[in-house]
Chains A and B, each alone.
Chain A
Amino acid sequence: MNPTRPVRLAVVGHTNTGKTSLMRTLSRDTGFGEVSSRPSTTRHVEGVRLMADGEVLVELYDTPGMEDPIALLEVLEGISGAQGERLDGPARVERFLASEPARTRFEQEAKVLRQLLASDAGFYVVDARDPVLAKHRDELAILGACAVPLLPVLNFVRSPGADEGAWREALARLGLHAVVRFDTVAPERDGERRLYEKLGTVLDAWQPALERLIGCREREARERHVAALRLVAGLLIDVAAARLRIDAGDEAIARAAVEDLSQRVRRHEQACVDALLALYRFRPDDVDADALPLVDGRWEHDLFHPETVRDMGVKLGTGAAAGAAAGMGVDLMFGGMTLGAAAAIGALAGGGVQAVRHFGDRVLGVLTGKRDLAVDDAILRLLALRELSLVAALEARGHAAVEPLRHTVEGERWREDALLPTMTRARGHPEWSALLGEADAAARERAVDALVTEIEARKAS
């Protein structure tokens, strides 16, 4: 059998176990339904279609919570055929749905059963923090009477009070051996894949469709990840390569130039942050907004404030020395700018005709009293740390809460180790930068891709 219609799944469970949260996580629709810790928030049945490359592969229905299973099972077991003959599960459920209590006392439960009967399978969501009680067993007996495959989903497994073992044992005793852990608030990275794979074992015929769904989700995640790193790498290249020629003798002009350059860097960073938020379809009013290190979509602390640099544990770099040597005073040094010691080294280290020419330019500049203003290493490190932590936080939304990047080994390397080779090379290639004017698009693109590879390598090492 090769079904042509999408697989229909009902999300069922006791009240307040996180059914709507599961819907939100699987549909990537943070605005779906209403989520609260209040029990029986959902009293209706509402569906979403899960799409992969424009194809509807799954229909997922949120149902109200079961609230009075013990009484319902009693009612259900009391139902018998016309001449008192015994009925099988689905027949009994059908008869119950046609009866008076299904419209009054058990209206909520009736909706669940009706939806489950119309579905190919059900996710039975369990709050693993709850003990296994008689009502849960009765609930499973009722749901089991629908004769639709059930896949128990253990929610809140990462919470301290969770008793996964007890649940697994109890479910096994009821004949439910395929169980999947899926923390709807903090799912593990491949949680979704395992959820669909488990479902595929229960729903053979839809396995190819579920495989496609997994493949599409993973590809999308990969594309988004590369796009995000390209945004960050683009920002770093633009800032690292930017070079402003100023008259070093005139302090007023120099100050104005420093202010102009800092302002451009700030705006560029904000543009990058905005683009990242748009990429991950993040709305500042999302429930998990406070999981991000931003305030109202902006970084709280100014990039060029010495405190910010120190806060991130970044050492002030060579700019200080260069600024002091040039007689530009402490302000310039804390302005986060360098009069080019790093740029000069970068130009030489970068090699190539272009770099040598720029270095020659600089020598000429020194002779004529002109100096090149560039953004200091410390600021570059800070930018990299900030933006990469933002990417990590955005990717972890709906995933496990991550440690802030600055506390990780990767963060350590961004603070302590040399800048990545392409960033150093960018020092010698002002034509890569789109900060002060138009960049050489082809060269910039190549540099961005090279930097993305290096960022990935640093993360992996």
Chain B
Amino acid sequence: MPPDTPPSFDDRWLVEAVRLHEAAHGPLDDAAACVAARNGAATPEGRIVERARHLGEATGLRRACAAWAGRMRLAGGVLLALMLAGGVGAGLAVAGDGGRPINVVWALGGLLGLHALGLVLWLAGFFLAGATPAGIGAAWSGLAARFAGGAPEAPRALTGLLRQGGLLRWWLGSVTHATWSAALAGALVGLTASFLLRSHVFVWETTLLSPGFFVDFVAWSGWLPARLGFPVPDAATVAASGASALADEAARRAWAWWLVGCVALYGLVPRVLLWLVCALRLAAGRRALRLDLALPAYAALAARLAPASERIGVTDAAPGRIVASQVDAGHRFSGAPTLVGIELRGDRPWPPALAAGVRDLGVADSREQRLRVRAALEGEPACRLLVACDGRLSPDRGSLGLIAEWSRHAGRCAVWLLAASGERGERWREALAEAGVTAVIEDEGRALGWLMGEWT
């Protein structure tokens, strides 16, 4: 099967069968199927279908489903043939051998009574949501399960899928109406054959009813056939057919046509129309059916087979070496001890109270401020340089490079880390150690003390 064919109903049926199989027997080994699914389709549903196609081949479920469908088609054919034959038999039986007059109401009731009852029950079941199938539908469901053979998933998956799509009643309905259509067509054939080849006379009988009832009954029931051109016995003929059968040729022909017309128009035609409606709805529904990706099993599969993203990988590799600035203090400078801040927030008074003789170079933030600090340090290098940094910021190459650059104009260099708590403080200490800063002070008193040379 070409991988890019859009999923058909049978494919989705297979998906459901695979799902049931996995639910009953545990997950299948689907590594190869998943790869094929990713390559074969783009949409989540397409990929789920593609996976099922592969697993269906591997487990034989596809063949099992196809075989079951074949058996069901055969069973359907046999059922239709049987119903047709039964119908012919019923038609012949109702007509009789011509020896006895046909009781018209009795014959009509015999041919249409069961059908009418079945139709009412079917309609009731159809419109009551959640009703379990009854009659032919139930028998068909039972038959479907019985014919499953070694793959109970096949019928269960089909009914499950049809139920998800709200198609189960159309499916059972089309079977029901096809069966009844066959039976009624058979009856019509039997009846017509008998009317063609045998001589029949017609009569109505009653003990309690008035003749007027039969006149009205025939007029009402014959209304539709008459519209469509069927000869219908007139009131006089009906009234005259009560006591004894009329031998009159025209009356007999009218009765026969009336009976045929009633069976065709009240029996066969509605059933064929209903079958058509059900079959068309089923066909349209099958085409429109999509897997319900909000079903837990499908949703999990969709998340696995069609992730929200795929990695492109590294498109520009990391630099082989990283240039890290190194502090370079230890020169013999005799200038004033100097304090300078880098990127300090305005949330604390700056500078702190400084001892006499300490040079304050302010806060270096922008390029101009940095240049100013550099110029000052170049003009008069410091014996001790204390750089204050905000420990709440992330250390970056720019700040570390600045400390390293300034350290060249200092006899000693230390970093006063302000508000250095948590992760970022830790990062600062690591980065400073890496840059070669040996003195990292957090306490204000100690920092200013270091600046005055009180400790080293």
- Residue positions of A touching B, CB distance < 8 A: 14-17, 26-29, 32, 37-40, 43-51, 53-55, 59-61, 64-65, 67-71, 73-74, 104-105, 107-108, 111, 114-115, 127, 129-131, 133-135, 138, 161, 217, 220, 222-224, 226-228, 230-231, 234, 275, 278-281, 441-442, 445-446
Of all A-B residue pairs in the complex, the 5 with the closest CB atoms, nearest first, are A54-B42, A227-B299, A47-B312, A27-B309, A67-B397
- Residue positions of B touching A, CB distance < 8 A: 41-44, 46-47, 130, 132, 156, 159-160, 163, 293-296, 298-300, 302-304, 306-319, 322-323, 343, 345-346, 365-367, 369-370, 392-398, 401, 423-424, 427, 430-431
- Are B313 and A104 neighbours in the complex by a CB distance under 8 Å? no
- Are A44 and B310 neighbours in the complex by a CB distance under 8 Å? no
Residues in chain B near residue A138, CB distance under 8 A: 366-367
* Separation of A230 and B369 alpha carbons in the complex (Å): 63
Among candidates B156, B307, B431, residue contacting A441 with C-beta atoms closer than 8 Å: B156
* Separation of A442 and B317 alpha carbons in the complex (Å): 56
Q: Smallest CB–CB gap between A142 and chain B, Å?
A: 12
The answer to whether residues A44 and B309 also contact, given A37-B427, A133-B343, A134-B366 and a CB cut-off of 8 A, is no
Q: List 27 A-B contacts (CB under 8 A).
A: A15-B397, A28-B308, A40-B396, A46-B312, A47-B312, A48-B312, A49-B311, A49-B312, A50-B308, A50-B309, A53-B306, A54-B46, A55-B42, A59-B312, A67-B396, A67-B398, A73-B367, A108-B397, A130-B394, A133-B343, A222-B294, A224-B303, A227-B295, A227-B300, A230-B296, A279-B299, A281-B307
Residues in chain B near residue A131, CB distance under 8 A: 343, 345-346
Among candidates B310, B312, B322, B367, residue contacting A134 with C-beta atoms closer than 8 Å: B367
> Whose C-beta in chain A lies nearest to the C-beta of B394?
A16
- Are A15 and B300 neighbours in the complex by a CB distance under 8 Å? no
Kindly name the residue among A26, A64, A223, A445 whose own CB sees the greatest number of chain B CB atoms within 10 A: A223
* Separation of A40 and B323 alpha carbons in the complex (Å): 13
> Whose C-beta in chain B lies nearest to the C-beta of A107?
B319
* Separation of A107 and B294 alpha carbons in the complex (Å): 48
Residues in chain A near residue B366, CB distance under 8 A: 70, 134, 138
The answer to whether residues A15 and B396 also contact, given A74-B367, A138-B367, A223-B294 and a CB cut-off of 8 A, is yes
Residues in chain B near residue A134, CB distance under 8 A: 343, 365-367, 369
* Separation of A220 and B309 alpha carbons in the complex (Å): 13
Kindly count the residue-residue contacts between A and B in the assembled complex, taking CB atoms under 8 Å apart: 176
> Whose C-beta in chain B lies nearest to the C-beta of A223?
B294
The answer to whether residues A47 and B396 also contact, given A27-B309, A105-B323 and a CB cut-off of 8 A, is no
Residues in chain B near residue A135, CB distance under 8 A: 343, 365, 396, 398
* Separation of A40 and B294 alpha carbons in the complex (Å): 41
- Are A39 and B427 neighbours in the complex by a CB distance under 8 Å? yes
> Whose C-beta in chain B lies nearest to the C-beta of A60?
B309
* Separation of A107 and B319 alpha carbons in the complex (Å): 7
- Are A14 and B319 neighbours in the complex by a CB distance under 8 Å? no
Q: Smallest CB–CB gap between A193 and chain B, Å?
A: 15
> Whose C-beta in chain A lies nearest to the C-beta of B323?
A105
